[in-house]
Structure 1
Amino acid sequence: MAIIELGESIPALTPHASSVSLPTWSDNVAYEEGQERVLSKMTTGYPRFFIHKAIVAFAEDVAKKFGKPGCQAMLFPSSRTARSCASFMQSRDSSVTAEEVQIADLVLDKLRADSDMLKKVSPSISAVIFPAALFPLAKQYWQHSGDGVSSRRAEFCHALLLDSLLVEQTALQPISNGFQKACKGPRRYQRGSMDKTPSTLHQDGQESPDTYHQPGIYPPQEARESTQFLEERFGRNLDVSFVDNAKSAIRRRIAGSLMGEVDLSKAPSSEMSSNMRGVVELSEDDVYLYPCGMNSIFHTHRMMLEAREPLKSISFGFPYVDTLKILEKFGPGCIFYGNGSSEDLDDLESRLESGERYLALFCEFPGNPMLKCPDLQRIRKLADKYDFGVVVDETISNLINVHVLPYADVVVSSLTKIFSGECNVMGGSAILNPQGRYYTALKKVAEVEFEDNYWAEDVIFMERNSRHFVSRIERINENAELICNILKGHPLVKDVFYPKYNSSRACYDACRTPNGGYGGLLSFTFHKAAQAVAFFDRIETAKGPSLGTNFTLTSPYVILAHFLELDWAAQFGVPADLIRISVGLEDAEDLKSTFSAALKAAEAVDS
């Protein structure tokens, strides 16, 4: 494939992509160092780290309209999430006063928006407005929690703000006689409005680039009158009446009771016929959807704290960066076992025997990027004996390959990855185990605390993308093993990290489904760092953050995730020159050719 230009979205020309092209090793280093030559070319980035330009443009207008001079805004999908951000800012910096941090709740003016579609979607935004100097603190919350607004929601709501249809909630006061005269909004939002412009979606649901969709670019008022935007964007291509059924389809796929397509125009049957999760009495009501994977972890931790009591958690195994940050910064903290070894479990057991108590153990199965698997069977026994929860992130393995729910109280996942595959929409999920010790307590908390902030457009894209995830996973499993075998057989490759070949394979196999494979993610190292650089620069795949894409995606993962803590990562056996490969659906012979050419570049380093 042609290398995607530096700073372009992955996939190219995808307005809401969840990856960005960093095609050389030096580009990745320069990005982490904040060099202008890279940052100036970034059209987008990984959504929790790089705030989408459409969100930035919207936030600027909100700050200008509702804030004081010199203020900035951070946007959230609800009042509760915005207030959570404000509370975090004040808890992390005692000098931040309540007066400095303003909340603006923006809601649809339903009297002016004469549209059933708009009323059903009920678009809203809550902004945290603060002095510009506090932006890094607000950004911490945005990144760690995943609570921030999605780029599609931001685009949609920004246009409403520009047309004065999104207003401060406090401004919606009835006049003295209790009635307010309805004032119709712009023509395009009224019933019967018809847009004659071409659709911006292909028949397969994928977006096409157009002028409006370029991040941060908004057409003038008169141009928007004739641009397909709201009514038609939903009404013709993304029928809002299907959203509830789409959510049900997604939940059922996650529960393992729906494999393949479903007619969204028909309400789903009231009962699930079966599930593939290995746990009886699992219902789609036990599956909760979130705007992104990290958000599912963030809120699962919060639910655990509410359902039990404020206790330290356990972070077991080398974790994805923000999982550890959540456990450290929100609540009483955690103990960290970065190796995730049997010796670590021995130490934990000793602590437990001495009387120490914990909230929950959080782990990934397998871990990222070393693909090591925790001993879930032993962890489950310790949890039952010493009364702590078990939260397992199955993003990398997925339900087709493994059954981890029998060992967990909650299973979380990033739907952004293999479940979607298209790299154009975010999503996350949490499954409560109905057989778990804390199930009843967690359900009670969820009834009060769970907030459905998954934006309707994102739901529709996620449902479409996930229809064939089973067959995609099977193909990706095969391709990943092919790549592993190529790498393991090459003399310059020092180590290959993959569940099938790791020392923890027995832990993976204990949870593997009868026909399950070992997933599509692998990492490896060369004997020399220069060989890794030469390989990375030469390989003709997409190169950027994220994983689980339908196309092969290569990343110098440790550079991107732990650039400021490389020595810390190294003490857990995670080397800076590691290359991580998320294997895609390409033809096997094409993959062989691609990797062969890159390995020859590595061979040329010493020639």
Structure 2
Amino acid sequence: MMDAIPPESDDVGETIPPMTAHAVSVSLPTWKANVAYEEGEEWVLSRMKTGYPRSVLLAFGIYSAKSPRFFIHKEIEAFAIAIAEKYGKLGERAMLFPSHVIASRCVEFFFHQVPELVQQHIRILDLVPATEKARSEELALLSPKVSAVLYPGTEFKTAKAFWQHSGDGISSRRAEYCYHLFKKGDLVESSTPGEGSRFCKGPRRYQRKTSIDSSGPRDGSTKVTEGHDPTQFVEERFGRNLDLSMTVNAKLAVRRRIAGSLTADVGLPEALALHKDERSLRSVAGFSEDDVYLYPCGMSAIFNSHRNLMAIRGPLKSIVYGFPYIDTLKIVEKFGPGCLFYGFGSSEELDDLEKRLIGGERFLALFTEFPGNPQLRSPDLERIRKLADQYDFCVVIDETVGNFLNVHVLPYGDVVVSSLTKIFSGDSNVMGGSLVLNPKGKWYTQLKQRWDYDYEDNHWAEDSIVLERNSRDFVSRIERINSNAEAICDVLRADSRVKQVYYPKHSPTRPFYDKCRTPTGGYGGLLSATFHSKQDAAAFFDNLDSAKGPSLGTNFTLSSPYVILAHYWELDWCESWGVEPDLIRFSVGLEETSKLVKTFRDALDCIPNSG
């Protein structure tokens, strides 16, 4: 029998932002809704219109029978079901990837994890445009192809592990486009398996040439016309009908923004013309956009960093330093010989590492975040760099939370990765990731050669164009968000009902952050807080008038009971590393500061008086 639907659940499962077909967050507006999701209650699961695409809603690698949930965008899921129904055997499922090469890695993972599988049990199906549809003015801009791994449905756990940890599945926009072709019979099985490099013009709605600036203002103030599907309206107005001939330039502009050599908030033609007159904010000699690589998402950038480092240096153990985004830990555990985990990110742990190195232990790389999530602690990058140079391991830094406008970490890393889905985009409607190589790094020559040989650009054209437009005002948004986050931090720190506030400015690791802070940089838009009891935390969260769901770096304030949502089935493990189960994380947005302050104070006033 279905659980009764609580009255506060009106927004449960709604996309964040609302009416956005490719939203990357989902509304879980109450503490009860978050717990109910994790425990699989039907009143939540049945209402999910979307989910966080990188499975933050999955219990991060904890494959308990109690937590079978695994969110794949509904467009991707429908496409996968249709492929399995047409080409699969009884009981088979399909997992979709943008290239044969990536699908082959998934197959290799299957055989590593489930050795008893035989070749007949798992195979790759390459879908490409039909021959008569393959000639197009759009050339290679779209490359509407998909490689499906067909596998026994009983092995879904293995398939989802690769999809989740690698980050290399297809995007929802690619799925939408290719599924449309598939249903018309214009996307067919390749006659040359593994080739899949032909192109087509695509559905008629993409053929109209429009300006990428024609989608209107960000405030969304235009009225929806009667009889027009509201979700379709929002997506069309904010990114669907795009001039795909602009893809190459859009990707170049995105790479230049990541390189720090393009900061102006102007249209694409002006942006590309301005580039030569701007100096890179990265401030590393010899650095350019040629050292920047785009990936489908931030997780893909991390996964491919680890994979390529092993290809260069062999299958050595890695180090994960600081409490991480958990998929990073799972990658080095599942796709290599294991790792040394330092979950506190403390000086004492670096002391232990140094003793191991002196004793002869050797490692592939050290993976760390700057600052970490959700406690916003900053690692001692200077000391890590010295150890890396002395004992020959690479340093991979995830700068997603800090972002390069606030912190300059490239001199300390061999590889710097980031999720562009977050603050770089801000609009919560597109995914992307970046990877940057340090031209002054000790391993640069080997890394550059490897990436030039191995790299595939699988960032879908439509996603690239949306990402370029979203990121134009990146600089001004960061400044506003920095300021708002500090104001909220001050409100929380001043209230005795709050147990502890985590923010780089007030962290014991602030000296390490300040050493990397740029001259105009702030302390970022992410902070967390704990309360004196679970009841207090729930009362505050339920009464906080903000969007509530997974992800971070949105232009609007987004809150979540992060540990409950991300680690529900491993709360004791989190506590063993000093991360409290009832911690609430806030990604602060662009709202008017005074209104935002009032919103948080009002929620604090809803905490019941103790005693």
TM-score by length of 2: 0.89
Indicate whether 1:24 and 2:37 are aligned: no
| Distance in 2, Cα, partners of 1:125 & 1:102 | 14
Alignment match of 2:363 (pick from 319, 337, 358): 358
1:169 CA displacement = 0.8
1:277 CA displacement = 1.0
User: Does the CA contact (< 8 Å) of 2:501 and 2:530 recur in 1?
Assistant: yes
Alignment match of 2:429 (pick from 424, 434, 438): 424
Q: Which residue of 1 aligns with 2:582?
A: 577
Indicate whether 1:165 and 2:165 are aligned: no
> Relative to 1, partners in 2 of residues 1:547 and 1:195: Cα closer, same or farther, differing over 3 Å?
closer
User: Does the CA contact (< 8 Å) of 1:551 and 1:584 recur in 2?
Assistant: yes
| Distance in 2, Cα, partners of 1:385 & 1:392 | 18
1:391 CA displacement = 0.5
User: Does the CA contact (< 8 Å) of 1:352 and 1:386 recur in 2?
Assistant: yes
| Distance in 2, Cα, partners of 1:186 & 1:415 | 27
What pairs up with 1:148-297 in 2 under 5 angstroms?
148-170=169-191, 188=204, 202-204=215-217, 237-265=241-269, 268=272, 273-297=278-302
| Distance in 1, Cα, partners of 2:395 & 2:542 | 40
Alignment match of 2:415 (pick from 402, 410, 414): 410
| Distance in 2, Cα, partners of 1:368 & 1:312 | 23
Q: Which residue of 1 aligns with 2:149?
A: 128
Q: Which residue of 1 aligns with 2:310?
A: 305
Q: Which residue of 1 aligns with 2:504?
A: 499
| Distance in 2, Cα, partners of 1:423 & 1:562 | 22
- Residue by residue, what CA displacement relative to the aligned partner does 1:514-536 show, whole Å, maximum 9, x if unpaired? 11110000011111111000000
User: Does the CA contact (< 8 Å) of 2:26 and 2:549 recur in 1?
Assistant: yes
| Distance in 1, Cα, partners of 2:164 & 2:228 | 29
User: Does the CA contact (< 8 Å) of 1:4 and 1:10 recur in 2?
Assistant: no
User: Does the CA contact (< 8 Å) of 2:293 and 2:434 recur in 1?
Assistant: yes
> Relative to 1, partners in 2 of residues 1:263 and 1:544: Cα closer, same or farther, differing over 3 Å?
closer
> Relative to 1, partners in 2 of residues 1:383 and 1:195: Cα closer, same or farther, differing over 3 Å?
closer
User: Does the CA contact (< 8 Å) of 1:530 and 1:605 recur in 2?
Assistant: no
Q: Which residue of 2 aligns with 1:222?
A: none
User: Does the CA contact (< 8 Å) of 1:15 and 1:213 recur in 2?
Assistant: no
Amino acid at match of 2:93: Q
> Relative to 1, partners in 2 of residues 1:213 and 1:360: Cα closer, same or farther, differing over 3 Å?
farther
| Distance in 2, Cα, partners of 1:398 & 1:78 | 30
Q: Which residue of 2 aligns with 1:223?
A: none
| Distance in 1, Cα, partners of 2:238 & 2:209 | 10
Partner secondary structure for residue 170 of structure 1: coil
1:267 CA displacement = 9.5
User: Does the CA contact (< 8 Å) of 1:110 and 1:119 recur in 2?
Assistant: no
User: Does the CA contact (< 8 Å) of 1:313 and 1:362 recur in 2?
Assistant: yes
1:154 CA displacement = 0.1
| Distance in 2, Cα, partners of 1:598 & 1:409 | 43
> Relative to 1, partners in 2 of residues 1:168 and 1:512: Cα closer, same or farther, differing over 3 Å?
same
Partner secondary structure for residue 457 of structure 1: helix
User: Does the CA contact (< 8 Å) of 2:136 and 2:201 recur in 1?
Assistant: no
Indicate whether 1:79 and 2:100 are aligned: yes
Partner secondary structure for residue 383 of structure 1: helix
| Distance in 1, Cα, partners of 2:257 & 2:488 | 28
User: Does the CA contact (< 8 Å) of 1:249 and 1:262 recur in 2?
Assistant: no
User: Does the CA contact (< 8 Å) of 1:4 and 1:23 recur in 2?
Assistant: no
Partner secondary structure for residue 203 of structure 1: coil
What pairs up with 1:487-526 in 2 under 5 angstroms?
487-526=492-531
Q: Which residue of 2 aligns with 1:345?
A: 350
TM-score by length of 1: 0.90
Partner secondary structure for residue 289 of structure 1: strand
- Residue by residue, what CA displacement relative to the aligned partner does 1:407-446 show, whole Å, maximum 9, x if unpaired? 1101100000000000000000010000001111011111
| Distance in 1, Cα, partners of 2:160 & 2:10 | 28
| Distance in 1, Cα, partners of 2:193 & 2:384 | 53
1:202 CA displacement = 3.3
Partner secondary structure for residue 258 of structure 2: helix
User: Does the CA contact (< 8 Å) of 2:492 and 2:501 recur in 1?
Assistant: yes
Amino acid at match of 1:93: V
> Relative to 1, partners in 2 of residues 1:411 and 1:172: Cα closer, same or farther, differing over 3 Å?
closer
Amino acid at match of 2:159: A
1:101 CA displacement = 0.8
User: Does the CA contact (< 8 Å) of 1:113 and 1:189 recur in 2?
Assistant: no
Alignment match of 1:93 (pick from 114, 125, 139): 114
Partner secondary structure for residue 350 of structure 2: helix
Partner secondary structure for residue 117 of structure 1: coil
| Distance in 1, Cα, partners of 2:118 & 2:413 | 40
1:260 CA displacement = 2.1
Amino acid at match of 2:109: F
> Relative to 1, partners in 2 of residues 1:186 and 1:364: Cα closer, same or farther, differing over 3 Å?
closer
> Relative to 1, partners in 2 of residues 1:42 and 1:52: Cα closer, same or farther, differing over 3 Å?
same
| Distance in 2, Cα, partners of 1:297 & 1:370 | 21
Alignment match of 1:451 (pick from 441, 456, 465): 456
CA RMSD of aligned residues (A): 2.9
1:120 CA displacement = 3.9
Alignment match of 1:14 (pick from 17, 20, 30): 20
Instruction: State the percentage of identical aligned residues.
Output: 56
Partner secondary structure for residue 567 of structure 1: helix
Residue ranges of structure 2 left out of the alignment (5+ in a row):
1-7, 56-70, 195-199
Amino acid at match of 2:492: L
Alignment match of 1:38 (pick from 39, 44, 58): 44
Partner secondary structure for residue 323 of structure 1: helix
Residue ranges of structure 1 left out of the alignment (5+ in a row):
174-183, 216-226
